[in-house]
Structure 1
């Protein structure tokens, strides 16, 4: 909703401002006021906001941070996008001075609109009030994550209704078990019941009020499993709740030949474009690596790809030649002493990943997909993490959903956290989702997120 409102505001600001400037005669050059120019202006700046994570973090930001992020999204990311656009479509160019005032005015209006929007959406009259049926570890984990992330989604979890005689949720989070579930929901304006019971509830003396839940469902109160709630609200599959039947019977995890063909076509188009655009940076990076530490310039490793096939991935070398002199694979650590000075820079800017365009052209990787891991790590992770092998049914990628949502992974626990997002991507991946991931990866590259 906010994205649509912002697009309309940007379109109106551009169109009205150019009309006003044309009317008062500020510019002697003709001012373009056609609908196409305003549409392209709004589209590029909206993509700039998406690329800088403006829609995801604004609830947790101060007004000054929100304004600064908007300026970066519009003036830097949007400015680059508009410059490229006007080279390709000169007729849409309104002139530099008109564009400057349009961007400045749009920034002020959009920040003001976002603050009003957040005030309205965050009001108690509009939030979705949710209650959890269950008081075990699953419910506790859901409560903890809701406090960190779900306020931004307009969700309020009122508490937990215990399903056993031995709840693990804190006492202040427990609600009395209602005699009439529907009446309880009506009086407390509950819009959704999330069932978060432990798998072995019968063995633990638990219970499931099926007739009450059926009545709530039939009378308009949504009843959702905790796993589906996680997927919908937090865009990940909670690993502790995943079971084989969810994979087998869910609507996702579909392998489509037509989608595979379209994705391959998109991969080739983007990788060839990247190769042409980034060729000067490829040459400069190779030269910098050679001047600092000599040969080899490229570094290769075996990685596990689609269906478990091994392939060799290529990167610009960012570590010393003897980084793994004992021959054993090692996780990268924060401020890793093996990283060279040039290596630190090309890691922060992701320039070290550019040789993987070759892997994409060969068809071993895609532009978007789970990051491929080394065989040594995969063998260990498959033994310790359930369903880890499911990520290998999607082609690995240069960028991915887990890279956007989870920091750099360098442990078993990190691998579990990333797998939750990889599972979500494997279940729901589409060309539109791939495009959105590509746009949002701009922020990761510009801000050097998730680098070690």
Structure 2
């Protein structure tokens, strides 16, 4: 499944943003009266679209799964207000005034909420929903039904297809027929997608019937791919090496590695230059708060399983040798100092990792680097955990922005699902999406521990 395929986790966000771009463009052309005289176009007009999109993203206007009209209205208003404040600071031509900007912002606020409300209503009415037939009647099929119900109008279940081997745990009233009749059933229900969700995997389905469905224009999707598409993570317990090999993702080309390296150097250099002035202040606060070194050095597992030394500002009390073994950080962890709580919450303790990025040990975006002891423990219970080391670990990443701070092996396994999704869908678009999500998390101080 592709990152931007219809119905994917990010797809509806892209639709919302694309609609806002169109709305903003129409309003902008109206605001400048279609003039071709560049000298009379206000400076804010050139930044109007990226600014309103950025603040709308920041205020979580593009969250299709959290639609409450009043909340969306408030978020939209805050985004437009912040956009107005920023654009109002720009120099203005003598022929323009703040009233031009105010009117443009008001029009954007109104049209943004009108068109997004109409889209939400159409989703509720299943106007654009993909109709899905599910092959299987067991617990896996039940999971697919639950995902469909949570999809906010992206999908609608047309029924379950019974096989000779799969147990029956779904609502029997939703079983529309047997696999032998799948071609006829798919045509009668006008199905767009067939999801193969067998709990009992013994035996093979007749591929000629599935081929007939595919030739009718129906997408054939297995359960792991559908789960990945809807949730943004891969169900590691339901995949096998063959699935990894046949997936159209998990292809990290030299071009992608070069592109990531260039982005790493740019982002890390800029952030390090900007943050260097506060390094002495952080160092002084750490020294005054508790005895011990300013920086914390620890071995972590990096690319291809090789160990490297990670750099961080010390946020914990110095532990005696007999208590210094690897342990998960917990909520209200007594090892964390007073200053440590502040810098961990704001992720400031991770700023020295920018040096790791410049050295080539880490990437700016990638899976979180873990301690060797944790890697050994997790690898015993989580298949494919070593595969996350196919790329460099990152300061931030898909798992970090999608899931809270991990404090157990169970959390690490859940994050592995997100890490594999990231590797499977690695692209410039996903990199930028993670970057903006990280900015949002830092500003609202979510997820630190």
Q: TM-score range by the shorter chain?
A: 0.7 to 0.9
The aligned counterpart of 2:191 is: 190
The aligned counterpart of 2:139 is: 137
TM-score of the two chains, using structure 1 as the length reference: 0.85
**What aligned pairs does 1:394-413 form with structure 2 within 5 A after superposition?**
394-413=391-410
More displaced 10-residue stretch of structure 1: 333-342 or 126-135: 333-342
Determine the C-alpha separation between the residues in 2 that align with 1:353 and 1:126: 43
Shift in Å at residue 352 of structure 1? 1.5
The aligned counterpart of 1:38 is: 45
Shift in Å at residue 397 of structure 1? 0.6
Determine the C-alpha separation between the residues in 2 that align with 1:163 and 1:46: 48
Match for 1:62 among 52, 61, 68? 68
The aligned counterpart of 1:244 is: 241
Instruction: Please provide the CA RMSD for this pair.
Output: 3.1
The aligned counterpart of 1:9 is: 23
In structure 2, the CA distance between the partners of 1:299 and 1:416, relative to structure 1 (3 Å rule), is same
Match for 2:365 among 364, 368, 377? 368
The aligned counterpart of 2:163 is: 163
Shift in Å at residue 386 of structure 1? 0.4
Shift in Å at residue 44 of structure 1? 2.8
Unaligned runs of 5+ in 1: 23-29
In structure 2, the CA distance between the partners of 1:171 and 1:338, relative to structure 1 (3 Å rule), is same
Contact 2:61 2:75 (8 Å CA) reproduced: yes
Contact 1:237 1:421 (8 Å CA) reproduced: yes
Determine the C-alpha separation between the residues in 2 that align with 1:184 and 1:253: 34
Determine the C-alpha separation between the residues in 1 that align with 2:412 and 2:326: 16
In structure 2, the CA distance between the partners of 1:166 and 1:226, relative to structure 1 (3 Å rule), is closer
Contact 1:140 1:168 (8 Å CA) reproduced: no
Shift in Å at residue 82 of structure 1? 5.7
* 1:216-274, Cα deviation, whole Å (9 max, x unpaired): 22222222111222233333222122111122233222232232222212111111111
In structure 2, the CA distance between the partners of 1:260 and 1:335, relative to structure 1 (3 Å rule), is same
Shift in Å at residue 81 of structure 1? 7.4
**What aligned pairs does 1:346-385 form with structure 2 within 5 A after superposition?**
346-385=343-382
Determine the C-alpha separation between the residues in 2 that align with 1:330 and 1:110: 48
Shift in Å at residue 42 of structure 1? 0.7
3-state DSSP of counterpart to 2:352: helix
TM-score of the two chains, using structure 2 as the length reference: 0.86
Contact 1:302 1:313 (8 Å CA) reproduced: yes
The aligned counterpart of 1:115 is: 117
Determine the C-alpha separation between the residues in 1 that align with 2:158 and 2:283: 56
Unaligned runs of 5+ in 2: 1-14
In structure 2, the CA distance between the partners of 1:249 and 1:188, relative to structure 1 (3 Å rule), is closer
**What aligned pairs does 1:13-412 form with structure 2 within 5 A after superposition?**
13-19=27-33, 32-33=40-41, 38-55=45-62, 57-76=63-82, 78=83, 98-148=100-150, 150-151=151-152, 154-164=154-164, 167=167, 169-171=169-171, 174-178=174-178, 180-198=181-199, 200-202=201-203, 208-322=205-319, 326-412=323-409
Determine the C-alpha separation between the residues in 2 that align with 1:323 and 1:111: 58
* 1:299-319, Cα deviation, whole Å (9 max, x unpaired): 222110000111111222222
Determine the C-alpha separation between the residues in 1 that align with 2:317 and 2:182: 64
Shift in Å at residue 381 of structure 1? 0.9
Determine the C-alpha separation between the residues in 2 that align with 1:151 and 1:413: 28
In structure 2, the CA distance between the partners of 1:199 and 1:313, relative to structure 1 (3 Å rule), is farther
3-state DSSP of counterpart to 1:54: coil
In structure 2, the CA distance between the partners of 1:431 and 1:59, relative to structure 1 (3 Å rule), is closer
In structure 2, the CA distance between the partners of 1:265 and 1:62, relative to structure 1 (3 Å rule), is same
Determine the C-alpha separation between the residues in 1 that align with 2:229 and 2:169: 23
The aligned counterpart of 2:9 is: none
Alignment length, in residue pairs?
431
3-state DSSP of counterpart to 2:152: helix
In structure 2, the CA distance between the partners of 1:223 and 1:259, relative to structure 1 (3 Å rule), is closer
Contact 2:161 2:182 (8 Å CA) reproduced: no
Contact 1:8 1:42 (8 Å CA) reproduced: no
In structure 2, the CA distance between the partners of 1:111 and 1:326, relative to structure 1 (3 Å rule), is same
Determine the C-alpha separation between the residues in 1 that align with 2:88 and 2:339: 30
Contact 1:58 1:66 (8 Å CA) reproduced: no
Determine the C-alpha separation between the residues in 1 that align with 2:77 and 2:278: 27
